[in-house]
Structure 1
Amino acid sequence: MTSLDSSPPNVRSRDYAVLSQTIRQAGLLRRRYRYYTVKIALNVLVFAGGWVLFVQLGDSWWQLFVAAFFAVMFAQLAFIGHDAGHKQILRGRRTNDLLGYWHGGMVGLSYGWWMDQHTSHHANPNHEQDDPDIRIPALAFTESQGGAKRGFLRWLAKYQAFLFFPLLLLEGFSLHVSSVQTLRRPVLRARKVEIALLAGHFAAYLTAVFLVLSPLTAVVFILVHQCLWGVYMGCSFAPGHKGMPILARGHGLDFLRRQVLTSRNVRGGIWVDFVLGGLNYQIEHHLFPTMPRPNLRRAQPIVRNFCAQQGIEYAECGWPRTYGYVLQHLHAVGVPLRAGR
């Protein structure tokens, strides 16, 4: 695990200003309209083509391969919603939000709920009290979190390293449930729009599945689709921070060090960029959230070299290894619980 001890004693917030100026001079914050136009158009066409294939196949167990395909497409559409939420695609907040609501509706997620969660995460990455991404009922990321759990949740925390991937099978359903629960909040932005989008999504999805497939095949199709989507989403977001240092109140780190020291990049080529939706450049993304996804690869050597010059530890590893770090951390947190403490 990365240590916070490598942070320089005299933290200077001007370091980020210097890095930011370098990034701007390199043109890496400019919008990539052509990239996103092609990306979104291809996603929609392929997604629509999947539904055409679904109808053509009819009531067949071959539909389980289509379910796996839709798991991939739901994740790819969600990645676009993520980029829109960070204003990576267009300049204005309103136009980006329109794209975000649309993509959220296509996969059955509340864009407003996700924005609230994700904004808090970016402001306080890996902060024990303030980061919603490490305040998950089924998991414990610190010994204090584990010690506070009771009953079945405490048992889960004991063996969470072994249960991590099986639990991800439920992540897709959890995202839907959280989205629907959020619609009860009257303060939710564009609440009526979200209600209409989510109601339309679930009505269209369930009608299509049960109209084309027999009841048993339909239920299995939904389970395969939603479970694989959950695994995909969890495996895409977990490597960025899980197993990295966790901060407490009064840590004293400036923005640059707070973002870099709590984040981890995943090495790989264009294929990894595609599969993880650019989240493999977690450090660069957290430092420059509005940077368009295709520019993150170009920004990486600039950020990495700058961190080396400032003596800031820059975490990066291969894709399989990052899950090893995640599981090691979860296993270590569960030690006191397994020892009966």
Structure 2
Amino acid sequence: MSLEAAPRFRTTTPRTGAPSGFGPLLAQVKDAGLLRRAQVFYISLLTTLVLALGGAIAGFVLLGDSWFQLLIAAALGVIFTQFAFLGHEASHRQVFSSNKANDALGRALASGVVGLSYSWWMNKHTRHHGNPNVVGKDPDLDIDTVSFVDADARSARGARALITRHQGKLFFPLLAFEGINLHVKSFIHAFGKGKVDNRTMEIILLVTRMAVVLIPIFLVLPLGMAFAFVGVQLVVFGAYMGLSFAPNHIGMTMFTVDAKPDFLRKQILSSRNIRGGWGMTILMGGLNFQIEHHLFPSMARPHLFAARRMVRDASLREGIVYTETTLVEAYRVVINYMKTVGHSAPRVFECPVVYQYGRI
């Protein structure tokens, strides 16, 4: 049975104390064995990624001073993103039964291979999972060059107002800079004054990773080619990460800070699944099953598809809209939402009095 898409751009305060079908759903998932670990899958995936990274390094050495190196740079952008997906799954305790082992793997992959602060990611992502699309509580809705809520768009001034006003058109191009943004935020967090779990180890991993990646590039390649190599790698990495995470929640139901939806409704209404089978699951690192991932964060990637039918059935029983669409349609909704929010931004270089009275 086809389920309709959730109403777009809705901010709501769902009924308090609504009955939740999550308990029976959780029992059904447990009985089906879908919360068991999938270590063979993850060991195979990690081995494949290590071999792919080794192949890229071998290609870099063999090509030497050649502009074909930019193909290696693009490949590295893809490989690092795939490592980031695996690090994300380790942070959710999906790989090992031991929390300590999952954290060790997650930190090694995130900080040591990808170059992202594991501590920063854990802090931000844990808060997001607890309050997805809750205005004022979900850190993923915070201002970050673009605005995700009208109030932030209206507060934009200067260059940010100009960007916000046109953020629908600029959203995808801006993703090219997301790789730089993630690395900068990671270093700021690691060297900042706030609390950082395992700060010393985090700094050692981040600095070592950057040195191991950058020094060979600038030693082997001419200066211009080296900068081009790093630029392509960062653009591919940032765009791939952004394009994978953007469809998850943008344009879905948003909740006011005083909303009290039950767990099942909050997670399903705020999330969107992407159709496409195993090919899409590999491409998006399991993020295409965003609804199931939010309901069962520790569920291993191979079990998400089986859980999908159970969650859909539970949604029908509870009268909750379960949103699943194509990747292209999801991007269209994302762009329309960003345009809608962007229109709240002040017009740059316009007389404040004219803007106040709405004369265009």
**Shorter-chain TM-score tier:** over 0.9
Residue 122 of structure 2 corresponds to residue 78 of structure 1? no
Sort the Cα spacing of 1:303 and 1:107 in 2 relative to 1 into closer, same or farther, 3 A: same
Q: Which amino acid aligns with 2:247?
A: P
C-alpha contact 2:165 2:346 (8 A) present in aligned 1: yes
Aligned counterparts of 1:6 and 1:312: Cα–Cα separation in 2: 15
C-alpha contact 2:16 2:259 (8 A) present in aligned 1: no
C-alpha contact 1:85 1:97 (8 A) present in aligned 2: yes
Q: Aligned match of 2:270 in 241, 262, 272? A: 262
Q: Which amino acid aligns with 1:110?
A: S
Q: SS where residue 336 of structure 1 aligns? A: coil
- TM-score, L = length of structure 1: 0.96
How do residues 48-59 of structure 1 correspond to structure 2 at under 5 angstroms? Answer: 48-59=54-65
C-alpha contact 1:16 1:255 (8 A) present in aligned 2: yes
Aligned counterparts of 1:4 and 1:223: Cα–Cα separation in 2: 38
C-alpha contact 2:155 2:345 (8 A) present in aligned 1: no
Q: Deviations over 1:144-189 (max 9, x none)?
A: 1111222111111100000001110110001100010011236211
Sort the Cα spacing of 1:301 and 1:21 in 2 relative to 1 into closer, same or farther, 3 A: same
Sort the Cα spacing of 1:181 and 1:85 in 2 relative to 1 into closer, same or farther, 3 A: same
Aligned counterparts of 1:262 and 1:269: Cα–Cα separation in 2: 22
Aligned to 1:171: 178
Aligned to 1:63: 69
Instruction: Measure how far apart 1:10 and its partner are.
Output: 5.8
Residue 305 of structure 2 corresponds to residue 313 of structure 1? no
Q: Which amino acid aligns with 2:259?
A: H
Aligned to 1:149: 156
Q: SS where residue 280 of structure 1 aligns? A: helix
Q: Aligned match of 1:140 in 137, 147, 166? A: 147
Aligned to 2:300: 292
Q: Aligned match of 1:203 in 211, 219, 226? A: 211
Aligned to 2:240: 232
C-alpha contact 2:106 2:118 (8 A) present in aligned 1: yes
Aligned counterparts of 1:43 and 1:304: Cα–Cα separation in 2: 32
Aligned counterparts of 1:315 and 1:136: Cα–Cα separation in 2: 26
Aligned counterparts of 2:11 and 2:237: Cα–Cα separation in 1: 34
Aligned counterparts of 2:92 and 2:247: Cα–Cα separation in 1: 20
The total of aligned residue pairs comes to 340
* Structure 1 unaligned blocks of 5 or more: none
Instruction: Measure how far apart 1:48 and its partner are.
Output: 1.4
Q: Deviations over 1:165-223 (max 9, x none)?
A: 11101100011000100112362111100111011011111111111111000000110
* Structure 2 unaligned blocks of 5 or more: 1-6, 348-354
Please report the RMSD computed on the Cα atoms of aligned residues, expressed in angstroms: 1.6
C-alpha contact 2:11 2:254 (8 A) present in aligned 1: no
**% identical equivalent positions:** 40
Q: Aligned match of 1:330 in 297, 317, 338? A: 338
Aligned counterparts of 1:148 and 1:282: Cα–Cα separation in 2: 31
Residue 165 of structure 2 corresponds to residue 158 of structure 1? yes
Instruction: Measure how far apart 1:7 and its partner are.
Output: 6.1
Residue 14 of structure 2 corresponds to residue 11 of structure 1? no
Q: Deviations over 1:104-124 (max 9, x none)?
A: 110111111111110011011
* Highest RCO, 1 vs 2 (Cα 8 Å, sep ≥ 6): 2
Q: Aligned match of 1:303 in 281, 301, 311? A: 311
